[in-house]
Amino acid sequence: MQKRHADVVIIGAGTAGMTAYRAASRAGKKAILVEGGPFGTTCARVGCMPSKLLIAAAEAAHTARHTAAFGVHVDGTIRIDGKEVMQRVKAERDRFVGFVISDVEGFPADDKVLGYAKFIDDQTVQVDDHTQIRASSFVIATGSSPFAPPELQAAGDRLIFNDDVFEWDDLPNSIVVIGAGVIGLELGQALSRLGVQTTLLNRSDTVGGISDPMVREAARKAFCDEFNLQGNAKVTATELVGNQVVVHYEQNGNAQQVKADYVLSAAGRMPNLKKLSLENTSAVLNEKGMPAFDKNTLLIDNTSIFFAGDVNHLHPILHEAADDGAQSGKNAAQWPATPEPVRRRASMGVVFTDPQIMRVGAAYRDLNENEIRIGEVDFSSQGRSRVMLKNCGRLRVYADKSTDRFLGAEMLGPAAEHMAHLLAWCLQMQLTIDQMLAMPFYHPVIEEGLRTALRGARR
């Protein structure tokens, strides 16, 4: 057993871990990065990038099928080659992962230890059976993993997660997706557009995390018109029948079932904590093994351990994980100085469906309707959207009644990813509705729809 010492040990070499390592190293401290799995972040390997590659292929197929309205007729059958689709997804995915691996390879060899770390005590971790490292402080950045509810377990090898999709060599004929959150909606719609018979089951009537009832209804209509999205569908059991899986579910008191080649669990993700043996530290753990920690500084109570990235289950988004890692690495390097809080940017979230979904700042559910003014726009009649035949969706913006300050927005519609950035910048600058309306709006652009909604909020 090799015995080593460091100022800071970072467990996990994803986005948060790599950023924490750089921050601690820049502070002049000896930092050791421990990784038990393959290098390459969740985003690059199984998340943001491969999913967008699949979505891009799906958008190409969808566009090719819907040209006639423009007077452009594509003669013959649109042929989707699943093997070619997945070949590009994997090749480009590997390219993105390669950039991350190249970064890690640039770290000094002495600063990297391969294997799974577990805590022996508050100041010591053991990596597999070969290395013990004693340090003044630690950063846990082990990320999260998808999980499947118990009622899906009987599906056996026909039960898959988003990670598995990006290892396919070809597309299946059919799939059942469980969960209408970000992952379920994005993959469900993409696979449907690529010719996979897709059924998406969600236990509630929510769609993509939308809380505004008018935006949510617009989303339900848009997606239900395109593929088989079933809300208020509670899965009760699964069973294997030959080479397929049968998913049993209840909907409005009626027993239903659907058969497919695979069932994809997009029911959520769990923090990767089991292998860490946090019970050997002074951390206070709940019944799920989650430690109590300061949500501002990310310091685990009673310890010198910081909790960064998806593992803390606060803001499971890449740029938030990077911010977590940067501040945690700095705080760990300065230990035992009082840690500084993570400087949060204006919150936003985007779902890369078509139409896209976005939320900025306060969601509808977070607000008291008696204290706000709401402005909205229906994109069915918005000029540029109609030009492009992307005229679907609704934007609702929320402003404080007393101060006129912009508070947040929810949207389903075209170019929502760009609208999200525009509104997030306004929110971070603490602009009022009048100040936002004083900004320039070109013509004809989708952003003119935002001006309509802002004018409604001002009235």
Tens of pLDDT, residue by residue over 170-210, are 999 999 999 999 999 999 999 999 999 999 999 999 999 99
Please check whether residue 72 is in contact with residue 188, taking contact to mean a CB–CB distance below 8 angstroms.
no
Amino acid letter, residue 258: V
pLDDT at 47: 87
The values of phi and psi at residue 14, to 5°, are -85, -155
Res 44: pLDDT: 83
Task: Identify the pLDDT of residue 344.
Answer: 95
Compute the distance between CA of residue 178 and CA of residue 186 in angstroms, rounded to an integer: 12
What is residue 255's predicted lDDT score, i.e. its pLDDT?
97
Cβ-based burial of 77 (10 A; exposed 0-12, middle 13-18, buried ≥19): exposed
Cβ neighbours of residue 442 closer than 8 Å, sequence gap 6 or more: none
Residue 37: per-residue pLDDT: 87
ω into 316 cis (within 30 of 0): no
| CATH level 2 (architecture), domain 150-267 | 3-Layer(bba) Sandwich (3.50)
Burial pattern 94-127, b for ≥16 Cβ within 10 A else e, equals eebbeebeeebeebeeeebbeebbbbeeebbbbb
Domain ranges of the chain: 2-146+270-333, 150-267, 348-458
Low-confidence residues of the chain: pLDDT under 50: none
Tokens representing residue 256 in the block: 């239903």
CATH number 3.30.390.30 is the correct assignment for the domain at 348-458 = yes
Considering the domain 2-146+270-333 in this protein, what is its CATH number? 3.50.50.60
> Does residue 88 contact residue 9 with C-beta atoms inside 8 Å?
no
E strands within 61-104?
A: none
Q: How far is CA 386 from the centre of its chain?
A: 30
pLDDT of residue 424: 98
Length reported for the chain: 459
The whole-number pLDDT of residue 76 equals: 83
pLDDT for 337 equals: 98
| Same-fold call for 150-267 versus 348-458 | no
CA distances from 447 to 182, 384, 423, 453, 458 (A): 24, 9, 11, 10, 17
Chain-centroid distance, C-alpha 235 = 23
Residue 350 CA: distances (Å) to CA of 245, 413, 436, 441? 32, 11, 21, 23
| Dihedral angle sign, alpha carbons of residues 39, 41, 42, 46 | negative
| DSSP secondary structure, 364-403, as one string | GGGS-GGGEEEEEEEGGG-HHHHHTT----EEEEEEETTT
